[in-house]
Amino acid sequence: MSGHSKWSSIKHQKGVADARRGQVFTKLTREIMIAVREGGDNPDSNFRLRLIIQKARDASMPMDNVDRAIKRAAGKLEGAAALVEITYEGYGPGGVAVLVQAVTDNRNRTLQEVRNVFSRGGGAMGDTGSVAWQFNLKGVITIDAGDGDAEEIALTAIDAGAEDFNVVGSCVEVNTDPKKIEAVRKSLEEQGMNIISAEISQVPENTVELDEKKARQTLRLLEKLESMDDIQQVYSNMDVSDEVMAQLKSEE
């Protein structure tokens, strides 16, 4: 198994998620609007939009909200904000690499807020390119193995076209070529797999294992970044042992 995205698996295992459904929908709306402006409002010809619509379905976002966001971004409805995409790079406690993807209507405000979160969380922002080289763009599908055999599920995913996999507790995370993510997901669903999420993600080539103290500090930093309204995605190359993971879960 090559390097993998551990942060998303940790989130599923630890229960780290944005409980405020309204904020989730707001972030999805921004993703939809950016996708429409980048590739048009037809999902059939806009791969990115197609994936985000499926992501919205996974999050139980009403399709009326999705349709309004598409029309607003396409100029068919009023109220479209002047949004821009920005990627910030930095380091967390223990030297882990952190990529932060934002969509904002105010660059200066978002930059200052992100810098403050890094500083207060025991990390530091880096220059452009300082950590991005450690990540590769991949399709990432997370499967809830439930009572099933995680290793068998992973091998089934490989047969369906996945490149790599990672098993964390009851979750199986598989990596694919970004262009194959839809086909692999469809194959897995047809075989009865319970898909938690499927998205294009930045996957680290290698991970940095943290002790309990550094892991707790890093999780707080990542959670704080993800709670910000302007932040869409947070990626990290952090890793923790099963023992540390069990200790963190016991503190919930």
Per-residue pLDDT of the chain (252 residues; tens, 9 = 90+): 333 445 565 655 554 444 456 678 889 999 999 999 989 999 999 999 999 999 999 888 999 999 999 999 988 887 666 889 999 999 999 899 999 999 999 999 999 999 999 999 999 999 999 999 999 999 999 898 888 888 888 889 999 999 988 887 778 889 999 999 999 999 999 998 999 889 899 989 888 988 888 988 998 899 899 889 899 999 999 887 777 777 766 665
CA dist., res. 233 & res. 247, Å (int): 26
CATH class of the region 135-204 = alpha beta
The tokens for 230 are: 């302007």
CATH 1.20.272.10, applies to 21-73: no
Fold of 84-133+207-244: Alpha-Beta Plaits (3.30.70)
Give the per-residue pLDDT at 36: 94
8 Å CB contact between 102 and 230:
yes
Tell me the pTM: 0.84
Give the per-residue pLDDT at 19: 47
Residues of the chain with CATH 3.30.70.980: 84-133+207-244, 135-204
Q: What are phi and psi of 127, to 5 degrees?
A: -75, 165
Give the per-residue pLDDT at 137: 93
Residues of the chain with CATH 1.10.10.200: 21-73
